[in-house]
Each structure stands twice: as structure tokens, then as C-alpha cells.
Structure 1
């Protein structure tokens, strides 16, 4: 093995845990430092060898690979290798550690299978439900041209609500527990992008403070859109009664403020509408729970899914102006 030839082939230290991971005695690798390659899966051996060569050349490495254990089991392991250099930058030795990640890889594989099955299911449901909805909507348009009846307007509202419910269900099903690569973005930019898709003539959205945070921008934008839409739909001064019952108030205006929490533990979104009663502050994140007659009850559930996928937490409380306030904590800020 080239890396071992460059370093003189001398193994300075190996602990007893080596046998648990590779199924070989520490004495085996002390005698022949390249012996661990004998139990590396055939399809992964070249990658492991390349990683070791790069480490010996001065670049730290992290590599995941399979081990054909002497017990007959196949393990997944993760190895970290770091070169140690002298003052001239010459590599003197390579240090590292390896850990068993079989359980994690099993969970990832199971989750991938579940997501694939769920995606197939949701695609089928979407197709099978949209077809009759489109037929009903088409016939409703014909009926409206032929006659006038308040029952037709009721039917139209019901069809629109069914379509909204279908969209929210599909979004919730496809949200899952994973996120894409995290990048640093300005919180104000996410709020501005979200408000452009939600704000109405009677809505104002202001950013009271901003900072750069590490997140999946598209997923955070989706969460922010749902939070803003929740504020708009509930309106101000009465879309939600003190008991949580929905009341009609379509002409209400709403002012929304977003910003960074004073202690920089997270961010918040607050409106000047009716407060969320204490008894509802946990329930509002439940799938299907809503206090609006036309609501689907999935918007805030989707927000919670996205927040938790980032490893953050969200809670509802009463804002400084008496309206609803949502605080997202655990956010990583980038200086």
C-alpha cells in the first residue's frame, strides 16, 4: 500500500476497539498495517486506499465504507484521517479514528425506502383525487352559466377548499424529515422573498432586525410563507375569537414583523392580530387543526416539520402587541 510505504509501514498505535470494528486482532494490523484492507468490501477498497494516499500527501480525509466482518455481518464504518506535519509541511505521520455507523446507515436506507414509497403513494393519490375535482369544477362552471343559485357558490368554495387541502396534504407528505445542503443566507432576504408570494394590499411585512443564518433556504422560505400566510388568513382584530372560534373578517388588515431574538438564539415572526389562546399554543401545530372555517389545518404543521428538520424548535406565544408570535430557536448564526 503506497501510503504505508511512504510512512515507512510502521504502526505506532492501535487500541483494542479495532477488533470490534474490523474483526481482526490488533496484533494482526501491528504485524501488517495494510491487513485491514483485507476485510474492506471489494467495491469500497479503492476509495479507502485513495483516501489514505491523500491523507499521507497532506490532506485530511473522511470516508465511509463497508467492512466484511469475521462474524459474517457487514458493517458500515466511518474513518477520519488527518496528517501530522513538521514545520516544513512534510507529513510525519497520519492519525485517525474509525467508528461503526451501521445503525445510522440502516436508518438512512429505511428512510429512503419509506420516502420512495410515500412519494409513489402521494403521486397516485394526487392524480386520482385531482381528476374528479377537475371534473366537478368543470361541470360547476357549466352550471353557473346556465343558472344562478347560492348553492353553486357554496359548492365552489367547497371545491376550492378541497383543492387547498390536497395541496397541503401533498406538501406535508413530501416535506419529510430531511433537508438539503445548508448555506448561509440573510434572514431579511428570506422574509422578503416569502412576503412577495403572500402579502396583500392590506398586509405590511417589516423586518426589525436581520442576521446571516445557516439553513436550507428553499425550505426556510416555505416555512416563512406559511407563517406569513397564517397571519394574513387570520387577519387582525378578530379572525380568531378569544375562544378560538373562527369569525368572518375578510376586510381586516394585518401588520407583520420579523426579526432576530434579542439573545440571538433564533428568529421570530409576529403579527398585530388576535392573540392565540394559551390552550391552543401547542395544538396549532397539530396536523388538521384549524380555527378557520376555510382552513386546512396543515400550514403550521408543515412549518414545524421544516423547523425540526433543521434541528431547531418553534413555539407560539402572545406577541408584544397582543397578536400571535412564533419564535424559532436553535438557529445557527454566521458571523
Structure 2
């Protein structure tokens, strides 16, 4: 037979509350503060003794006092909650006069026939700072996307026009490659603009033949004397076709840049159809830096931008996949995509 759980007495509960990281304030039906734990001072600057016995309005910004008073009166009278008691973001007034963004969870309880309300207070200043920083980055990205698409589109259109004129008088495979490359740039510009406006890393997904995507990506990269080998039947995957091509293009370009122009690149499915690998027979990447190569701006060459593999990571995460780097059978690099 299980032994009964030990009873936790009131002193233990008080110790837990007074050592909690979150601030706790308890008010009565008249909005007077009857309890404050020590963590409140870390958040609002008031020692508990400075708050107990005063009105909760002491920590409410002036402009919000009528709203708070009306909300409490309404609940005491009707019993209807007109805010989310599980967690609502509200500014609180610090002792020095500045406002602190907080997340407040509310609880109701009775003692001795009287009604009390306890607010659990969390300082979310750092969260708000990060959100503001992210929004500023999004705004800059949108501005950059507008400039990028406008300033690139004009010379791109000129290049496409002259390429078409040249193809009318010259039957050249090199001009075909130029035209394909310009079309790919056009597609990427469209992708950058659309995805930045929507705030997504990838667009609409569809069934994509992996072998086709591999060949299209390979043909979009300056491969020099490199060799591509498809190890087996690759099948298909549900993905954003253009972004999958961009992912593969960056992997191929990274391999050729780091392993040399005569590298052999192999592409195949992982066992159990769990994903895809891209492997090469180059010098490989030392194990201590394998986790670093996906970081934005990291490069193992002096003239590298460090963007390629960070873009790969963004596309992988946007699809909900994962990517790892290991050693290939030939001692080179092996990138494994799992989905």
C-alpha cells in the first residue's frame, strides 16, 4: 500500500512563495494590497512593506487606473471575467516612475469569508526588447527587399533583352546557359520579395522530383570540372521547389569552392527514405568546426561570404527539416538532410 503524501504546512508554503522568482501581490475587494513577496522589489523597486496597506493603484500607470478599477468592480459585481486571467500583458509602474512591461496571471481565493485576488507578475522587458529588435530587423529586411528587387530588376531586364537578341543571331550553348542563369536570378528576386513580405522562410509546398531539382540546381552553378553522381532512385519530396533548388545550389557551390573544381559530388537517399545526402570526395571539414559552418558569416576561406550554408540552414528550418554534417566514405564532407 502506498504511503500517504507528506503534509506541507503553511510555513513551507510561505517559504516557497517568498523565494519565488515571480512577483506576487494579493489584493482584497477594495483593491488594497494585503501581501507582496520579496521578488516584487526586483521587478517594481518597492519593498513589500512599502506596498502592503496601500492601494494597487500605486503600481498602476495613471492612464490605466480607471480601466483597472472598472474591471475589478465589474468582476466582483457580476462574476464575469473580461480579461484573460491565465496571462495578460500589462504595464506596471516602477517606484522610480518608469513603466515595466509585465505578464500577469490572476488567481482568486477566499479566506475567513473575504475575497482576495493574487497576481503573479513576470517582468517581460527583455522579451519586449527582443520583439522590438526583431520587428526592426523585419522592417529593414522589407526595405532591403524593395531596394534589391528594384535595383536588380532594371539591369536584369537589360541583360535578358540583349541575351535574347544575341540568341536570335547566334546558336550558342553558352548563351543558353546565360539565359537560364538570368531566369534563375529573376525567380530568386521574386522569391526574396514575396517571402520577405510574408515573413516566411519558404513558400507554398508541392511534390518535387528530387532528381530534377538536383539537375536544375547543378546546371545553375559554375561546376568547372566537377562531376555529379546520383547514387540511386531519389523519388520526390514535398517542398517549396524554388527554395529546394536554392538549398542544393548553395550546397553544390560550397562543395566546389572548398573541395576543388575536380571534385565528385554524390547525391542519394538516406536509409529508410528518411532524407537526402550530398557527399563529396574532397578534403572534408574538420570535426571541431562542423557545427560552426552553418553560422551566418562563417567561412573557412578568406574570400568566402559565409552566407551559403546559413541560407541552407534557413531553408532547412523553414521546411521543418534538419541538417547535419559528417564525413563521407571518401573522407570528404557529407551533408545529411532529414525530414
> TM-score range, shorter-chain basis?
0.5 to 0.7
| Cα displacement (A) at 1:63 | 1.7
Alignment partner, residue 317 of structure 1 = 326
Query: Is 1:257–1:269's contact at 8 Å kept on the other side of the alignment?
Result: yes
Match 2:57 to one of 35, 39, 51: 35
For structure 2, list consecutive stretches of 5 or more residues without a partner in the other structure: 1-25, 213-229
The alignment's TM-score, normalised by the length of structure 1, stands at 0.57
The higher radius of gyration belongs to: 2
Query: Is 1:269–1:325's contact at 8 Å kept on the other side of the alignment?
Result: no
| Cα displacement (A) at 1:137 | 0.5
Report SS of the residue matched to 1:197. Answer: strand
RMSD of equivalent CA atoms = 5.7
Match 1:74 to one of 99, 119, 133: 99
Alignment partner, residue 256 of structure 1 = 269
Compared CA separation, residues 118 and 233, structure 1 to 2 (3 A): closer
What does the per-residue CA deviation read over 1:63-110, in whole Å, with 9 as the maximum and x for residues that have no partner?
A: 222234342323222222234589xxx997544421322233223223
The alignment's TM-score, normalised by the length of structure 2, stands at 0.56
Alignment partner, residue 207 of structure 2 = 196
For residues 123-142 of structure 1, the aligned pairs below 5 Å read: 123-142=146-165
For residues 292-307 of structure 1, the aligned pairs below 5 Å read: 300-305=309-314
Q: How far, CA to CA, are the matches of 2:44 and 2:96 in structure 1?
A: 10
Greater Cα offset, 112-121 or 58-67: 58-67
| Cα displacement (A) at 1:116 | 0.7
| Cα displacement (A) at 1:298 | 5.0
- 1:274 partnered with 2:280: yes
Q: How far, CA to CA, are the matches of 1:94 and 1:132 in structure 2?
A: 66
| Cα displacement (A) at 1:141 | 0.8
What does the per-residue CA deviation read over 1:160-218, in whole Å, with 9 as the maximum and x for residues that have no partner?
A: 56557757876997898x99xxxxxxxxxxxxx967235235752489xxxxxxxxxxx
Alignment partner, residue 216 of structure 1 = none
Q: How far, CA to CA, are the matches of 2:100 and 2:294 in structure 1?
A: 43
Alignment partner, residue 134 of structure 2 = 111
How many residue pairs are counted as aligned between the two chains?
A: 281
What does the per-residue CA deviation read over 1:220-260, in whole Å, with 9 as the maximum and x for residues that have no partner?
A: 966996499529975xxxx95897224588xx984323879
What does the per-residue CA deviation read over 1:106-165, in whole Å, with 9 as the maximum and x for residues that have no partner?
A: 232233123212311221121110121022102211221123345534543553565577
Match 2:260 to one of 229, 241, 245: 245
- 1:100 partnered with 2:101: no
Compared CA separation, residues 103 and 109, structure 1 to 2 (3 A): same
| Cα displacement (A) at 1:300 | 3.4
Q: How far, CA to CA, are the matches of 2:122 and 2:198 in structure 1?
A: 31
Compared CA separation, residues 41 and 119, structure 1 to 2 (3 A): farther
Query: Is 1:206–1:256's contact at 8 Å kept on the other side of the alignment?
Result: no
Q: How far, CA to CA, are the matches of 1:41 and 1:164 in structure 2?
A: 53
Q: How far, CA to CA, are the matches of 2:299 and 2:191 in structure 1?
A: 13
